Amino acid sequence: MIWLIKFAMCAMMPRTEKLPGIGDTDLDGFLRRLRRDSDFLYWLGLALGAWLFAVTPLFTVWVPLPAFFLPKKLLDRHTERVLSSRIYLIRQAVFLVRLSAGMCWGADPTVRAKFAMSPYGTDPGTFRS
Amino acid sequence: MSHVAFQPRGREVALEADYVVVGSGAGGAPAAVTLARAGAKVAIVEAGPWRDPADYPSSVYGAMRDMIDAWGSNFTRGRAYWPIIQGSLVGGTTVINSAIAVRTPADIFEKWERAHGVGGASMAEAVWRIQDDLERELCVEEAPTPARGNSNLLAKKAADALGFENHYLLRYIKGCVGSGQCLQGCREDRKQSLNRNYVPEVLERGGDVLSCAPVERVLFEGNRAVGVRGRFRNPQTREGGADFVVRAKKGVLVAASVTRSAPLLMASGVQSRALGKHFRAHPGTPVFGVYDDPIDMNTGATQGWASVAYRDEPGFKLETLSLPLDMVAGRLSGSGQLLMDRLMEFRHLAIWVQACRAETVGEVRRTITGRPAVHYTLGREDMLRFREGMYQIARMHVAAGARAVLPGIFGMPYRLEPDQIDQLREAPLDPRAYVAILSHLFGGCVMGADPSRSVCDGRGRVHGYEGLVVVDASVIPTNLGVNPQHTIMALARLFAEQLVERPAARAAA
Ligand SMILES: Cc1cc2nc3c(=O)[nH]c(=O)nc-3n(C[C@H](O)[C@H](O)[C@H](O)COP(=O)(O)OP(=O)(O)OC[C@H]3O[C@@H](n4cnc5c(N)ncnc54)[C@H](O)[C@@H]3O)c2cc1C
Ligand code: SF4
């Protein structure tokens, strides 16, 4: 499932000439942490979103293939269309994948540097015991 | 004095106090400190962990993990799924909020009296007296000029140009340095969230604090509340720990929030036809403006400006809000190459929001898993208000010189040029077209004179029970049209004062 989520996230936030993509960040580490830390419902929604992303090209770009077999251009079109699907449930589930991708990408020090922002400090996760 | 955090499975932890307070947010902490100052022994029992500024996260991910209830995965059940955001840690939502303090408007007390038989002039007077104290104790002030940041300054300029009431916000913050991180907790320790003052004061006054300790039931002897029971939960692994019981000699005060208090009373067998009913909210949504010069909204007070010009008619509040890159990246519409191109504008974005004074009434229910379920769909009249609020924000952006406005509405263009913003007045009225959040919540255990329509009386005491008082936002029977925490804190303190006042003082009053 992590593989599927990773694929969807990379399609949504690819590297461009000006910005690093999510694949250039520590996405594997992020997803491992997310799997471990997140609430069950959150993870379920994310998994559903990634699955829907993978199986819906037939309805977005009229190609009867899972998203991971699409060529780059078509994949980009699918990504755009699935996020603006008329079906609310699909739109919301896939939106959760994008929201989570944004959390990983936007916290990356290289990405932040591109926007003249200093790196984030740590997320210590500590508490009074 | 003692603080007991997560305890692994093993011997039951048992404590006794005069009063037990469930939850330590805007309602619970002020109630607890009031009781402690009156000499009572108080035990605060809080579901979340106790985090200090050195423990606060930097990133949005960290905030979701360490501070936000259920990862923000509570959402409205209805036509649209809108996230309901609340804090779950010592200090409650005050740790992650923007600390805005707005006095309860006079019309609210009149409305409560007219529609619910509580409130009125005497409550207004008492609440405002307490708000004087809160403002002093929690250092209410405007953000100092150097900490205002471009977004707040621009909003002021725009509203002044358009000629409507607007102001820099008063917040419970001492010496804000404008790090724009309020929503992840103030690592600079400027924000006066209640984990930094009232909760430690309860400890200093000989009280107890149990953290990582979600209460599962209120205990009763007959119809008298005599304590609470639950099981510790590890905030890192979410594993259950030891059982705990806290006995209350005089009373149990429930302040677990709008989404949690009613379900807790339901789980405890409290009988009331109004339990969970009369849920209301101020659904909010942002409109982004794109400017020629960098705004760098993450520099400056997170929320430093507001207007209540439209509070009465049509019914919304306008505010600034800075969102971090790791939130905006997920929030801007678009995907793939297109999204990345749009993100290039991040430094040039200013985000201002409207919070709709919605009249729609929903319901809080308890699901079999124990999670709350909030049933809520914004009605047409409210959607008209909501949409108009977005239009007014767009107008402000244009007045401030934005080169474009990004409404973020499904079915509308991504970008509106300044001469196109009137299209917003024709935007769809289907809630599913919008990405809103609910952060100002009311009801579920509302106060009122009629026990068939309310859960508590005008002192927060649950009808038909002894020693059981609700002291959080769930007692509020209407929307407020302004930020709620100042009202919640004052009501909680008032109800606590009334519990400990001497009979002679009561008779004299
Ligand atoms: C992002 C954000 C920004 C905001 N900004 C502002 C602002 O600037 N100004 C303003 O006026 N309002 C603001 N608000 C709203 C305001 O913070 C809340 O209305 C207010 O904190 C609600 O108070 P409460 O006591 O009802 O609940 P909370 O403050 O949420 O406290 C409830 C506490 O009870 C605990 N709890 C829940 N269940 C249990 C249980 N079973 N056992 C033990 N403990 C339990 C929770 O963990 C939590 O700590 C904001 C809200 C959000 C989400
Ligand atoms: S803006 Fe920064 S310094 Fe000011 S209160 Fe918020 S987090 Fe603290």
Query: Over the stretch B21-30, which tens digit does the pLDDT of each residue have?
Result: 999 999 999 9
pLDDT tens per residue, range B189-231: 999 999 999 999 999 999 999 999 999 999 999 999 999 999 9
Number of domains within chain A: 1
A84 touches chain B (CB under 8 A): yes
Q: What is the pLDDT of residues B31-51, one digit of tens each?
A: 999 999 999 999 999 999 999
Tally DSSP H helices, then E strands, for chain A: 7, 0
| CB contact at 8 A, B442 and B472 | no
Over residues B350-376, the pLDDT tens digits come to 999 999 999 999 999 999 888 899 999
User: Residue A41 falls within a domain, yes or no?
Assistant: yes
Q: What angle do CA B93, B99, B100 make, to 5 degrees?
A: 125
Query: Domain limits at A83?
Result: 2-14+21-114
Q: What is the pLDDT of residue B73?
A: 85
Chain B residues touching residue A45 (CB < 8 angstroms): 73
State the burial class of residue A123 (Cβ atoms within 10 Å of its Cβ: 0-12, 13-18, 19+): buried
pLDDT confidence band for B418 (50 / 70 / 90): very high
Q: Is residue A85 over pLDDT 50? A: yes
- For B161: left if phi > 0, alpha if psi spans -120 to 50, otherwise beta; the answer is alpha
| pLDDT given for residue B370 in this prediction | 84
Of B150, B58, B55, B396, whose CA–CA distance to A106 is shortest? Answer: B58
B297 lines ligand 2 (CB under 6 A): no
Residues 6+ apart with CB under 8 A from B2: B203, B208, B209
B66 to chain A: which residues are within 8 Å by CB? 123, 125, 127
CB contact under 8 A, B235 and A127: yes
Find the helix packing angle between A72-83 and A40-55, rounded to 10°.
130
Whether A129 is covered by a domain: the verdict is no
Name the 3-class secondary structure at A22: helix
Within-domain flag for A31:
yes
- Model confidence at B130, pLDDT cuts 50, 70, 90, reads very high
The count of other CB atoms within 10 Å of the CB of residue A3 is 10
CB-CB contact of B71 with B238 (8 Å)? no
- A42 and B325 within 8 Å at the Cβ level: the answer is no
For residue B3, give the 3-state DSSP assignment: strand
Q: Which of B50, B326, B430 to mutate to test the interface with A (most CBs of A within 10 A)?
A: B326
Query: Which residue of B2, B4, B61 to mutate against A (max A Cβ within 10 Å)?
Result: B61
A26 pLDDT exceeds 50?
yes
Q: What is the pLDDT, as a whole number, of residue B385?
A: 97
Q: How many CB pairs under 8 A join A and B?
A: 155
A127 touches chain B (CB under 8 A): yes
Residue B250, token pair as written in the block: 């005089």
Inter-chain CB proximity B340 and A14 less than 8 Å: yes
Instruction: Compare B160 and A84 and report the one with higher pLDDT.
Output: B160
Pocket flag, ligand 2, residue B173 (CB < 6 Å): yes
3-state secondary structure of B87: strand
Residue B502: predicted pLDDT:
64
Smallest Cα distance from A50 to chain B, Å: 14
Does the residue A79 lie in any domain? Answer: yes
* B403, pLDDT greater than 50: yes
Model pTM?
A: 0.96
**Residue among B55, B331, B337 minimizing CB distance to A124:** B55
Q: Which ligand is nearest to the CA of B186?
A: 2
- Cβ contact B55–A126 (<8 Å): yes
Asked if B346 is an interface residue toward chain A (Cβ–Cβ < 8 A), one would say: yes
The answer to whether residue A122 sits within a structural domain is: no
Q: Is B182 helix (H, G, I), strand (E, B) or coil?
A: helix
**CA-to-CA distance for B338 and B347, rounded, in angstroms?**
17
Ligand 1 atom nearest residue B92's Cα: 49
Nearest Cβ partner of A107 from B61, B187, B341?
Answer: B61
Mean pLDDT value across residues B176-197: 96
Band (A123; pLDDT cuts 50, 70, 90): very high
Question: Is residue B372 within 8 Å of B365, Cβ to Cβ?
Answer: yes
Structure tokens at B198: 């009232």
- Cβ–Cβ < 8 Å for B56, B183: no
Confidence of residue B509 (pLDDT cuts 50, 70, 90): very low
| For residues A53-68, average pLDDT | 93
How many angstroms separate the CA atoms of B325 and B58, rounded? 12
Whether residue B506 has pLDDT greater than 70: no
Other Cβ atoms less than 10 A from the Cβ of B148: the count is 23
Asked if A37's CB is within 8 angstroms of B57's CB, the reply is no
Contact (Cβ atoms closer than 8 angstroms) between residue B402 and residue B345? no
B303 lines ligand 2 (CB under 6 A): no
In a domain, A124, yes or no: no
Q: Average of pLDDT values for B103-107?
A: 98
d(CA B99, ligand 2 centre) in Å: 9
Return d(Cα A114, Cα A21) in angstroms, integer.
12
What is the full DSSP assignment across B262-313? HHHHHHTT---TTTT--BEE--EEEEEEE-SS---TTSS-SS-EEE-TTTTT
The SS3 call for residue A83 is helix
Say how many Å lie between the CA of residue B96 and the centre of ligand 1: 9
Q: What span, in angstroms and rounded, lies between the C-alpha atoms of B482 and B460? A: 21
- Looking from the CA of residue B180, the nearest atom of ligand 2 is 1
A38-42, A61-65, B481-485: least confidently modelled range = A38-42
Residue of A38, A97, A127, A129 to mutate, interface with B, max B Cβ within 10 Å: A127
Per the CB < 8 A criterion, the answer to whether B31 and B99 are in contact is no
Quickly count: other Cβ atoms within 10 Å of residue B228's Cβ.
26
- For ligand 2, whether the C-beta of B323 sits within 6 Å is no
| Residue A127 covered by a domain | no
Sheet order of strands, B372-375 included: B76-77, B372-375, B363-366
Average pLDDT estimate for B329-357: 94
Contact yes or no for A11 and B336 at CB 8 A = yes
CA–CA gap between residue B23 and residue B39 (Å, rounded) = 20
Rounded to two decimals, the ipTM of the complex is: 0.95
C-beta separation of B49 from B117 below 8 A: no
| Ligand number nearest to the C-alpha of B298 | 2
Which ligand 2 atom is nearest residue B143's CA? 4
CA–centroid distance, B29 to ligand 1, in Å, is 11
Residues A90, B464: Cα–Cα separation, whole Å: 46
Residue A9 is assigned to a structural domain of this protein: yes
- Report the pLDDT averaged over residues A19-42: 94
SS3 assignment, position B92: helix
Which residue of B86, B138, B141, B322 sits with most ligand 1 atoms within 8 Å of its CB, as the best mutation to test the pocket? B86
Q: Which residue of B has its CA nearest to A10?
A: B336
Task: Kindly report the average pLDDT of chain B as a whole number.
Answer: 96
Q: For chain B, what is the largest distance between any 2 Cα atoms, rounded to a whole number of angstroms? A: 73
